[in-house]
Structure 1
Amino acid sequence: MSFHRMWTELLPVGRGSASGGYRRFAWTAADAECRAWFREQAEARGLAYEADRNGNQWAWAGDPAAGDAVVTGSHLDSVPDGGAFDGPLGVVSAFAALDELRRRGARFDKPFGIVNFGDEEGARFGLACVGSRLATGQLTVEQAHRLTDGDGVTLPRAMEAAGHDPDAIGPDPERLARIGAFVELHVEQGRALDLSGDPVGLASAIWPHGRWRFDFRGEANHAGTTRLVDRHDPMLPYAETVLAARRQARLAGAVATFGKIAVEPNGVNAVPSLVRGWLDSRAADQDTLDTVVTGVEEAAREHAAAHGVDLDVVRESFTPVVEFNHALRDELARVLGKDTGLKVPVLGTGAGHDAGILSGTVPTAMLFVRNPTGVSHSPAEHATEDDCVAGVLALADALEGLVRT
């Protein structure tokens, strides 16, 4: 199968020698190498290649203008020091599934597309799913132009430096209207399939989730000469808020994580003037998520006041619960179980995906491939080659039923 060859080719791109993790950030050299790889795979298969106005890459068999197209794919970018599978597994499997369908002599009655969505992880500009959000209009042009990375480079400048026209970005309803179904294959970000013993599962829904920025503003001062009682140290209420987030999440059966922090002036011998922390929280339903975030903010304000520190809380992104198209999901479950008679596991997920962004516009579904470590966004993320091949075959089975009228 072509999966092994493609996977081996892509594996070294953007990989750090020290951590073993990946840094494939949007509009960087590693991203450009991934994008070149995608184009090469498309052209090697005689597919029509194009990059849309928002930098998403497409490869087409048949004319997408005919409408009711069947599309599969994922993304190629990564979180800082991320694993190899989150995103790229879906793109490599898409090309491998097409190869399998052609080997079978499958009939294509509908246009068929493979997509690599840009900047899904949001590692550089702090907002996930930028490419799909722009296409669906969930991210406005004005908001996109204000996105800035840690070095002060704006998204438009980064896109322009990579050879893409930033003035062209914006909603793409005509393109999305051509798509009749989108199926994204993804490595599972958890151990449900490992525990059930199944190599492949179906997604039911994506939990509601968001990112909130907490700005604790205190007073910079000398770490050696300022008495403890005279300090307005924003690090203290921040630290207490991190612990409060863990307590709130545990009580609610949700998750809450402070995984990113910025400190000013960031000196070893200085009391900080500003501690900025980003909260990521997710829950199975909206009420639970609201309870967790409200509890964290209340605790943060209480601790900030106790230390004479000001606090601003800004919601930077939010995605409500996403129920994948039931009819499409049920059809895929039927197709995947028809030869064995076995019921395909249906899983909820706390992770966001481009499929979730598209779901309000296009009928979408997701397949998961077993991850025996249960670890994701880390070099320990893993799937065996046998399970990856099982995922390719499951994807091919699903697509074969969709591309025929």
Structure 2
Amino acid sequence: MQLSLFLDNPVVSVGCPLTGTVRITLDEPTSIADICVRFKGISFTARTVNNGQSTYRVTERHSHADITISLFDQPRGTILPPGEHILLFTIQVPVFSECTCLAHFDQYNRFRFSWWTCRHSAVDVGLVRTALPPNCRASHNMYVDYRVVASVDRPGIFKWKMPVSHTVTVVPATLVHASDSRYGSGITNTATEYKTVIHSAKCDKLPESYFVPGALPKVSGLKKLFSFSSKNTYVDVPMEAAMILYNNGESSLGEHLPLELYISVKVDEISRIAGILNIKLRSLKVVLRSKTSGYAQRYPNCSTEKSTLLQHNNLDIPLTPEKSECGTPRFRIDDKVFKSIELGNDIFPDFDIMSLRHRHKIGAAIGLSFNDGNTRVVEISRAIVINSGIDYDLDTSMLLPPRYQIGEYKYEPENGTLKFDDETGFFD
């Protein structure tokens, strides 16, 4: 007997049908008890802990979907003739997770179990509805995985079974109320992050009359001595970097991320730096950091990845100050290099399952020079929420049109040999 499983859409959105074919090739007449297809998704975290006296394992397992359908419409024990038998199947992927553990979150926090596994009961159903999480493979100890398994059962005392499985990429949905006037209205509330830094700069000799409140201060330490004996003056340049994100710091896969970057020199007016500071943009790098963390008991278990969204070196762009709302000179950085940044579709969206969390930060490293001196780097970052670009309307219980082709989703790592910690017990 040979058993094969083929999926028409191995990348599927929640709320949509997952279709495929089960093919059975028999060499001889064979008695069949049942032919089933099962769709299941779990999340898993684990960590080895040493408390000084013993070493033990802390684990957490959740079941998010478990659907089994029978493709065998004949009596149990029917003998199928030799040859090829093709069976088609359709499984509706749920929108919501079947895991009801959030209903017991207080119990989880109070007792801090060394292991936690979903316990479903009729009382739990519907208490807490959370969106189905996306696939995520941070490590063999932290992942969310979905698979379809086809199996053929033959009658007999030993319950003979032949299974074959296939990994499925599930695209989650953001739960929204489309009837809300703010949904899809184009409202772009901004979220801004600030960071203050101080760099020293060498400039032409400045008279003592320059150093008044609101101007650039003299440097301290050794460089202050150089200012007395040389033809130059060293000053401190207090700056404030600003990163502005729209839509309150939320973005979707496949979209362009509107990102603005500014540098402000903390003096009271532009005349304080005119003719004194010649600022140039030398480099710019924008990165996206993703962090998957599983907090089982008190011991963090984290995985961090960084992807470069944009990088330009060896720039030589003079920056022209503009007057900001507070009156200080401000220099805009982003419009000199890019208009927007494309996130792409190969990112795990944000999710939160008890202790297993996936979050993102976007960061920028801005290389500046003062009066053609050495490059000084200013780094700034802020949290950003990334969703899948698919919305589920809670008012109509319907999926809204996605913002890109679902088949473009790229959750699977290039190395498909990643071994899961509970590989043998995934479908137990």
Same fold per TM (> 0.5)?
A: no
- Larger C-alpha radius of gyration, 1 or 2? 2
Greater RCO (Cα-Cα under 8 Å, separation 6 or more): 1
- When normalised by structure 1's length, the TM-score is 0.24
Q: TM-score by structure 2 length?
A: 0.23
Q: Which has the higher helix share?
A: 1
